Amino acid sequence: MKLALTNRRIKPKPTIVIQNLDDADRVLAEIGDLQRRLEDIETSMNDAIDRHKDEAANLAAPLRDRYKVLSEGLAVFGELQRDNVFAAKRTINLVFGVLGFRKSAEIKAAAGKKLADVLEALKTHKFPEAIKVTEKVNKDAMRDWTDDKLALVHAVREEKDTFWFEVKEEGVSHG
């Protein structure tokens, strides 16, 4: 969670009346102080979260270790009993769960190759059905388009003249 707004241009909605540059400078000083205080709160929050994560990891470690030992024990049992217990049925329902064998296939890069090599080969051999593509509108690419071209794709240009400000951190006291 991000609370602070440091070093970002901010487009505020007017809520107070600032009558001159001295007032504006005082407001910038107060905003800088608020940013510093928000950063302090965020740092404190992150420290607390880190402490809780460490505590949870310490509490969970023995449980995870036991879970792993038990899971591995079941896997060894399955392998040792494959021909006896699982000869007739590949899946066995017990009171507290189900265990068994399942055929599965995993697709992975051939020995000495990486998935990046597989991707390049898919492109080379023109197998687009095996390539995932995430589509999203690229507004930056559309900024230089004409209004007619934008209208063709159901988009419009909205011109805005927005006020912004930046706080100079070196001018804000850290105390």
Residue-wise pLDDT for 106-133, tens only, equals 999 999 999 999 999 999 999 999 999 8
| pLDDT value of position 16 | 87
Residue 36 lies inside a defined structural domain of this protein? yes
Quick check: 4 pLDDT over 70? no
Q: Higher model confidence: residue 94 or residue 165?
A: 94
Residue 161 lies inside a defined structural domain of this protein? no
Residue 25 lies inside a defined structural domain of this protein? yes
Tokens 């241009």 found at: 9
Residue 101 lies inside a defined structural domain of this protein? yes
Q: What is the total count of domains within the chain?
A: 1
Instruction: Report helix, strand or coil for 81.
Output: coil
Nearest-5° angle of CA 142, CA 6, CA 36? 165
| pLDDT value of position 11 | 75
Contact 35, 5 (CB under 8 A): yes
Residue 78 lies inside a defined structural domain of this protein? yes
Task: Determine the distance from the C-alpha atom of residue 120 to the mean position of all C-alpha atoms in its chain, rounded to a whole number.
Answer: 26
In angstroms, the Cα distances linking 72 to 45, 110, 120, 123 are 38, 28, 38, 40
The average pLDDT across 3-20 equals 74
Quick check: 174 pLDDT over 70? no
Residue 132 lies inside a defined structural domain of this protein? yes
Residue 14 lies inside a defined structural domain of this protein? no
Domain span at residue 58 reads 21-155
For residues 71 and 65, give the distance between their C-alpha atoms in angstroms, rounded to a whole number: 10
Residue 10 lies inside a defined structural domain of this protein? no
Q: Higher model confidence: residue 15 or residue 150?
A: 150
Radius of gyration of the chain, Cα coordinates, nearest whole angstrom: 30
| pLDDT value of position 104 | 86
